[in-house]
Structure 1
Amino acid sequence: MKAVTEVRPPLIARAVPYLPLGLFVALGASLAYVFRLPCRTGGWNDQTTVYTNFCYTDIFPLYFDRQLAAENPYFAQVPFDKHVEYPVVLGEVMQVFAWIARLLRPGPPRLVEGVQAPLFYDFTVVFLGVCLVAGVLLMAAVAGPTRRWDALWYALAPSVILAAYINWDFVAGALSMGVLLAWARKRQVLAGVLLGLAIATKFYPLMFVGALFLLTLRTGRWRPFLVTMGAAVAAWLVVNVPFMVLAWDGWRRFYVFSQDRGVDWGSPWLFFQNKGWPVLGDMDVSTLGMASLLLLCVGIAVLTLAAPRRPRLAQICFLALAAFMMTNKVWSPQFVLWLVPLAVLARPNWKPLALWQVAEVWYFFAIWLYLLGQPPLDRDDLGIGDDTYFTAVWGRVITIGIMMAFVVRDILRPHKDLVRQGDVDDQGGGVFDGAPDRFTLAPATR
């Protein structure tokens, strides 16, 4: 008998169902641009204007302070703390658009950078909008045909629109969704290359490695995992080694900054520090954060290996990333962009997601109002105090904790998992989808 060859529809036919979703995400990206217009039209020079209009973005300050109009952010002969504090892919994305602005408005940097800055901002935002469109469509593909419209959360969630262009997070978001889709389609080399590039853009996709490892340990599918990790390491080295060799100080700035950075806005540790409450004596916050993250990761590992049914990849990625954010020294408003797609893929239930969105929106407004009352502005007539601000900090912690609890419940009671209704195992699991257990702690825990 001749083997039956699967006939796939043409690319255009496969793309048509995604077009309406693409229009919605383009709408979300446009709304985010309009929301920040007060800063785009010159308000970046006035902190009071920035905070009262809730339009803060890192794009303008870093353009000026890191001298992007004149020099490469890694090779520049500047003081160490003036190098760009991001991994190399993101730093070079910044440089590309600085070059474009320089070509369109040539001249001595100090004379024309005020004219180049809006161009740099516009090109950067357009690129980030394209990355958002790509990330949403890739997420929809990961979710599968029956749950494609869950990606609307990533396209139009209030927190996404509000935090969209604070930083360059959509670049890593698109790469991260590409990783999950490539893995789901069993293209391990591509998944590894995208993972290496994602980690060289923002560090948080590193949490995916732990999720893949745990599910590999449970299923015994080691070859795909090792191929993916090998490709990830190779891709990371390809983009990093030239900077390590030729611009060591510029390259290591991100890693030194991450290690030395103190407790900053949004972190629960800031609450304890502000109140003067000792937490485990005089332990350094970096050590305390790492210990807390390690403890949560051990819990996630036990859950993954002891659950009655193998958890879905998106569930473990969500739990790992949420644990990382809750224990980190810094929890910036734009970090919500990391978590939204994974939260929806892990548990597309609108009630806890909506509750979390309320908390994120409150935090977004609270941080700028709080900064109005802090030095150097000290505008107590416009800002809010410590106690009000920390309600927003803990609101995020509590609502994400609630979502994590629901995901844990779905893992322990798989019949409660909305994604697994209709005899679905793991749409985005790739080689894990339908795989039998090879190593599990479940018999020992019963």
Structure 2
Amino acid sequence: MPIGPTARDGTTATGGGLDRRRAAMVAVVVLLCGLTLALGYLNKARCAGEPFDEQGRSLVFDMHKDSDVCYSDIQLLWLGRNINEHTFPYVSGSITDDGALVGGAVEYPVLSGLLMWLGAIGAHTDADFLLHTALLLVPFALLTAWMLARLSGKAALLWAIGSPLVLYAFHNWELPVVCTAVAAVYVMAALPRLSLRTRGMLAAVLLGLGFCLKLYPGIFVLPLLAFVATGGDERDGDGRGTGTDVRGALLTAAAAIGTVVLVNLPFAVSGYEGWRASITFQQLREADITTNSVWYWGLRQLYGSDKRDEQAFQHAVSIASPALIIAAFALAMWLGWRRYTRSGVFPWIAVSAAMLCGFLLFHKVHSPQYTLWLVPFLVLLRVPWTLIGAYLVADVAIGVGVFRYFYSIGSGESMETMERVVQFGVWGRAVLLVAFFVLFLRAQLRGFRAPPQTLATPGRDDPVPVPVA
């Protein structure tokens, strides 16, 4: 599958003026991404700096993190996870009976915990930790911008200069995991000289690494397996498909599973309690006012306010959330398979995007920075820009409004307006995630030259791809 913008006649721009313009466009996207990252850091750094307390915490952090909307999990977790003491994660940690992490345990998968530890090397204050972590994360964002620009052309500006990168680039440790997910797509699309089986295995390794960072790329392995098993988009000389490759799909699955096992095994062996604590912590997390989910702002309103009602609500969420997520995954795979029977190509990127929408919609936690997970799919797949703009508006309502809402609660000010802003963000995102779920499964890829079998005939559901100059 060729990458990059295509000429008006459907051919790929492989040389001459178009090729030079594409190279310049990629450079501009990466440069602008760097400038956006600088703005993102400056935004968070407003909550860091002198004076510090005896543990290296910026005193301004607790005073202004919500009112000035400069809160970040990076700065918060300088304390409470032994990061300030430079404890190597997991190996000596555990979780208490009341759900508190102690002794170096952190709530994220092992590679994120390792990045947290690396960012703390040489840091003596939360300001140092924020800066060191930002420098550690920047290359992942720039590489993501480069890959997206190569794959989808100027649409990559959505990643490079969009509001999510300003709000969330240094909110948490999302940039590495997003990079692995995009890299898996890039490997499948941009290395055509390698066999489909080889590319599938490399992509599976990248998705496995992503799983070890923040879990969610692991859900993309299933559509990737279907793509490999059905012969991908490779064509032989007479235009027929290359046939099924079940063995290739099994090797791809083994590559993903093997990567996860190899990465986690040293931590599980050297400190099982600390390693297991990160999983237990997420299992114990509840759908509350901090999770920004439809469960709290929707289903919770049907229950009373006493302890028994709260327990009943959490029990209902613990059943309904995973059940609906699995149902969304199954529906995405089924609709993707229907598209495969019509087009001859299983749309693994589109199905992955739809599965992510189902996860974001129904998971009990929908943190603001998860928008960074979705943005690359909005770049890669042809969905209406008006809906993308609407989603960004709803996202800003959450990314800004939720912290102002917390400030109103803590300060005793009227919180009615900010509560409405938060609800607008929660329900706006929810409605648009449903829309994107449907649209992704019908969408073509931006900047990709579609193989002949994906071109719809009159009366078919799939649209004819529009070449990008």
Whether the 8 Å contact between 1:60 and 1:117 is mirrored in structure 2 is yes
Whether the 8 Å contact between 1:370 and 1:385 is mirrored in structure 2 is yes
1:305 aligns with 2:358: no
Q: For each residue in 1:11-66, what CA deviation from the matched residue of structure 2 results, as whole angstroms up to 9, or x when unmatched?
A: x9996653222101101111111222311235565434111111110112212111
Whether the 8 Å contact between 2:176 and 2:213 is mirrored in structure 1 is yes
Once the 2 structures are TM-superposed, how far is the Cα of residue 218 of structure 1 from its aligned partner?
A: 4.8
1:316 aligns with 2:351: yes
In structure 2, list runs of 5 or more residues that go unmatched: 1-13, 51-57, 232-243, 456-460, 462-469
Residues of 2 paired with 1:434 and 1:24: CA distance? Answer: 37
Whether the 8 Å contact between 1:348 and 1:418 is mirrored in structure 2 is no
Residues of 1 paired with 2:322 and 2:112: CA distance? Answer: 25
Q: For each residue in 1:242-286, what CA deviation from the matched residue of structure 2 results, as whole angstroms up to 9, or x when unmatched?
A: 11011111111221112111104211001135413599x865312
Counterpart amino acid of residue 218 in structure 2: L
Residues of 1 paired with 2:454 and 2:439: CA distance? Answer: 24
Counterpart amino acid of residue 429 in structure 2: R
Counterpart amino acid of residue 357 in structure 1: L
Q: For each residue in 1:71-104, what CA deviation from the matched residue of structure 2 results, as whole angstroms up to 9, or x when unmatched?
A: 1221235654232111111101111121232xxx
Structure-1 residue corresponding to 2:161: 156
Structure-1 residue corresponding to 2:241: none
Counterpart amino acid of residue 107 in structure 2: E
In structure 1, list runs of 5 or more residues that go unmatched: 1-7, 102-112, 412-416, 426-432, 437-441
Once the 2 structures are TM-superposed, how far is the Cα of residue 355 of structure 1 from its aligned partner?
A: 1.2
Identify if the C-alpha distance between structure 1 residues 79 and 353 changes in structure 2 by more than 3 Å, giving closer, same or farther: closer
Counterpart amino acid of residue 284 in structure 1: A
Structure-1 residue corresponding to 2:413: 380
Q: For each residue in 1:108-162, what CA deviation from the matched residue of structure 2 results, as whole angstroms up to 9, or x when unmatched?
A: xxxxx4xx33222101012222211111112223x2xxx3221111111112211
1:38 aligns with 2:46: yes
How many positions carry a matched residue from both structures?
Answer: 394
User: What secondary structure sits across from 2:66 in the alignment?
Assistant: helix
Once the 2 structures are TM-superposed, how far is the Cα of residue 180 of structure 1 from its aligned partner?
A: 1.4
Deviates more, 1:34-43 or 1:166-175: 34-43
1:137 aligns with 2:169: no
Whether the 8 Å contact between 1:131 and 1:170 is mirrored in structure 2 is yes
Q: For each residue in 1:161-204, what CA deviation from the matched residue of structure 2 results, as whole angstroms up to 9, or x when unmatched?
A: 11221100001011111111122224333222222211101111
Identify if the C-alpha distance between structure 1 residues 397 and 182 changes in structure 2 by more than 3 Å, giving closer, same or farther: same
Please give the root-mean-square deviation of Cα atoms over the aligned residues, in Å.
2.9
State the percentage of identical aligned residues.
25
Structure-1 residue corresponding to 2:263: 239
Structure-1 residue corresponding to 2:77: 62
Identify if the C-alpha distance between structure 1 residues 51 and 174 changes in structure 2 by more than 3 Å, giving closer, same or farther: same
Whether the 8 Å contact between 1:154 and 1:160 is mirrored in structure 2 is yes
Structure-1 residue corresponding to 2:400: 365
Counterpart amino acid of residue 263 in structure 1: A
Alignment TM-score, normalising by the size of structure 2: 0.77
> Superposed, which structure 2 residues align to 1:41-440 within 5 Å?
41-42=49-50, 45-70=60-85, 71-76=87-92, 80=96, 81-82=101-102, 83-101=105-123, 113=124, 116-141=125-150, 143=151, 147-184=152-189, 185=191, 186=196, 187-216=199-228, 218-219=230-231, 220-264=244-288, 265-277=291-303, 284-307=316-339, 308-309=342-343, 310=345, 312-374=347-409, 377-381=410-414, 384=417, 386-408=419-441, 410=442, 417=444, 419=446, 424-425=450-451
Whether the 8 Å contact between 2:405 and 2:422 is mirrored in structure 1 is yes
Residues of 2 paired with 1:235 and 1:165: CA distance? Answer: 27
Which one has the bigger helix percentage?
1
Residues of 2 paired with 1:354 and 1:404: CA distance? Answer: 16
Deviates more, 1:305-314 or 1:215-224: 215-224
Counterpart amino acid of residue 53 in structure 1: D
